[in-house]
Structure 1
Amino acid sequence: MTVVGIVGLGIYLPERVMTAEELAVASGIPAEVIRTKFGLAQKHIADISGKGETVSMMAAEAGRRALMDAGVGPEEVDAVIYFGSMHKDYYVWLAAPRIQVLVGAHRAYAFEICGTSAGLPFAMKTARSMMLTDPSLRHVLLVAASTESMLLDYTNHRARFMFNFGDGAAACLLRRDHPFNIVLESAFRTDGRFADFVRVPAGGSVLPPSHETIEQRLHYFDVTDPAQMKAMLDPITLDHFVGVVREAIARSGCHGLDFLIPLHTKRSLFLALLSALGLTESQAIYLSDYGHLSAADPLLGLYLARQEGRLRNGDVVVLVSAGTGYSWGATVIRWGGPYD
């Protein structure tokens, strides 16, 4: 039976960090609240003007490291898929072709998938499906990066739940007929009632850039009605997280869950998710020193879990995320191997 497995992982994190104390000064939110409720000790911040840490540069570096981890040359890559932040180097611009050339994957074609912060399960599902049906796709490189810290106005507390956004990149290399770290099934849910709550108000066709939009600070994240969004989201979000995890596990033919790698969320939601799934904190990764890197979170968590020796041969590992819009997604990985 043809399978698709993860053969390499790579990450890139800027050297500059913003601590909880620095975030407290910028936002007026006590550092203790940021640490305990936001679940954030620090986050990495890109240096674009000094080090050129753009989305394309960081994603390409994470991709190169994933290739090195796999022992695969860039000329062996058949496709490059970018699934990270929409806030890229330029407006209305594809990062994937730029990443392809920076990595040196000159034989590959490149394209993008957008699921906001839920992008990884969508990318995994797409790449796996393509590879299972197309024998010419032996190696597919998935890359994501985020510089969404640039879109935060720390004086706008309507958007405070996004103050955990940090910067960085993560990548993985998938290989066809690789019976190790097998990518299994995914599951998704979308609730379009939330489509208009979270956005950068200006810059699109509805409200083009102008002196007025800049003066009114409309080029940062905003939430149109935080109270209404919370009232609608709180009763359903845990159920949707649990639902996609359990559905992905069932679709994969697995009977349990050994390790969970979620996106970075507030700590109370993280603990509630573990409790609902019958897991302990030792069976999960929490990105308190990294914050939320948009769609890159689960790959960063997988990289850290491997580096820390927390994954055992045969573990059923679930990568789960959610993104404004609102979508929830999960993908199952059978860690280790080999497996038939």
Structure 2
Amino acid sequence: MIGITHTGVYFPPRIETAKEIAQRAEIPENVIVEKFGLVQKHVSDSSIHASDMAIQAAKPILEKVDPLSIDVLIYFGSSYKDYMVWTCGTKIVHELGLKNAYAFEIMNVSSCFPIALKVARDMLVADDSIRNILLVGGCKEAELVDYQNVRSRFMFNFADGGAAALVSRDSSRSRVLGSCIYTDGSFHDDVRVVGGGSKHPASLESVQQRLHFLDVKDPKDMKQRLDPVSVSNFVHVVQEAMAKSGSSVSEIDWLIPLHTKRSMFRELLDRLELREEQAIYLDHYGHLSALDPCIGLHLGQERQLFQKGDKIVTVSAGTGYTWAATVLEWLE
């Protein structure tokens, strides 16, 4: 049974509260809590990076399984890593002592965990020699937030941390079922870090112009195009993933989404006819790029929320824009 056997998370110790974010962004605290859906978030310092947080998240898993039993490591976290044009997966394999594993990376910003689950499942189906695939991700995107840039306001919930999940051929805990992924590339030019790429190489001017932070090209235009389709696309990938799993939306027991503003979270639940008690909302963690559904899954296990037979939908979306969902069946 191909499924997730273990998960792990890591959060840096420093906490930034809604009050502190409100002061930095010059926004009322109640707006941060009620609209942004953020009570607090974890923020790293200069001593730790995306690869380090991914390693810390994976360590508890390797206390339960033999590191030499890991065949593949897939990094699915933030593309904002320790260095540019650099694979942190190789560092993670080395630091964790995964001497029998090869590493590669898949990155699709915030949508990537449901995609990584599909890739891992498909690899295990296709190659009998693979037994265990370790998914790891790190996020240090709080560092990319410019609180004085009102164009990037919807990204003020970005936070830091690490997450990991072990996908195994012989899982008795869960089973990975169907997935659905949908891309609308018309949004490709809306959100980016302008400075540092080949179009705008790093320079004194790029630093002075604050081009090394997340930015939205035209927030009003993006909102006009995105608002009418975003929740509908979430619903579409959830419906299709459930259909591919031989089930319907009415059979969802748990929704594990990325962190969004409260209004979108509630609208999605309404459209899927789910109660808030059937979802995990990361208002004490914020948005950690692709890591959110993995973190929510870990929290659900810690809190012993899942029961045998539960259908759990991990769902996310990433700027560009790609929506993705993968279904799990809980076996314990």
Question: How high is the TM-score relative to the length of structure 2?
Answer: 0.98
Percentage identity across aligned positions? Answer: 51
Q: 1:211 aligns with which of 204, 207, 229?
A: 204
Structure 2 counterpart of 1:164, one-letter code: N
Give the structure 2 partner of residue 225 of structure 1: 218
Matches within 5 A, 1:41-120: 41-49=39-47, 53-68=48-63, 71-120=64-113
Aligned length: 330
Decide whether the 8 Å contact of 1:8 with 1:67 is kept in 2.
Answer: no
Distance (Å, rounded) in 2 between the aligned partners of 1:64 and 1:85:
19
Which residues in structure 2 correspond to 1:1-340 (within 5 Å)?
Answer: 3-49=1-47, 53-68=48-63, 71-255=64-248, 256-337=251-332
Q: Deviations over 1:300-324 (max 9, x none)?
A: 0001011112111110000000000
> Separation in 1 of the partners of 2:185 and 2:62?
37
Runs of at least 5 residues in structure 1 that lack an aligned partner in the other structure:
none
Structure 2: how far apart are the matches of 1:86 and 1:234?
Answer: 26
Aligned-partner Cα distance in 1 for 2:329–2:197 = 41
Cα shift at 1:180: 3.0
Does the 8 Å contact 2:5/2:172 carry over to 1?
no
Whole-Å separation in 1 of the counterparts to 2:203 and 2:45: 26
Give the superposition deviation at 1:145.
Answer: 1.1
Q: Which deviations, in whole Å up to 9, do the C-alpha atoms of 1:97-129 show, x marking residues without a partner? A: 011111111110000001100011111111110
User: For the residues of structure 2 that align with 1:288 and 1:84, how far apart are their CA atoms?
Assistant: 20
Separation in 2 of the partners of 1:135 and 1:98? 26
Taking structure 1 as the reference length, the TM-score comes to 0.96
Are 1:264 and 1:286, in contact at CA under 8 Å, matched by a contact in 2? yes
Q: CA deviation at 1:48?
A: 2.6
- Inter-partner Cα distance in structure 2 for 1:277 and 1:217: 40
The letter of the residue matching 2:14 is R
1:48 is paired with a residue whose SS is coil
1:178 Cα offset (Å)? 2.2
Looking at structure 2, the residues matched to 274 and 181 of structure 1 have their Cα atoms a distance apart, in angstroms, of 23
**2:91, 2:77 → 1: CA distance?**
14
Q: Deviations over 1:286-306 (max 9, x none)?
A: 000000010000010001011
User: Displacement of 1:179 after TM fit?
Assistant: 4.1
Secondary structure at 2:308 match in 1: coil
2:260 aligned counterpart, secondary structure: coil
Instruction: Report if the CA contact (8 A) 1:67-1:173 is conserved.
Output: no
Moved over 6 A (4+): none
Q: Residue 56 of structure 1 aligns to which amino acid in structure 2?
A: S
Q: Quote the Cα distance in structure 1 between the aligned partners of 2:108 and 2:156.
A: 20
Residue type at the aligned position of 2:62: L
Q: Helix, strand or coil for the counterpart of 2:307?
A: coil
SS in structure 1 at match of 2:116 = helix
- What secondary structure does 2:229 align onto? helix
- The residue type paired with residue 235 of structure 2 is V
Q: CA deviation at 1:177?
A: 2.9
Flag structure 2 segments of 5+ consecutive residues without an equivalent: none
Q: CA deviation digits over 1:14-40, x for unaligned, max 9?
A: 110100000011100111000000000
**Which region of structure 1 is more displaced relative to structure 2, 288-297 or 118-127?**
118-127
3-state SS of the aligned residue for 1:289?
coil
Residue type of the partner of 1:43? K
Deviation for aligned residue 1:66? 2.3
- SS at 1:66's partner residue? helix
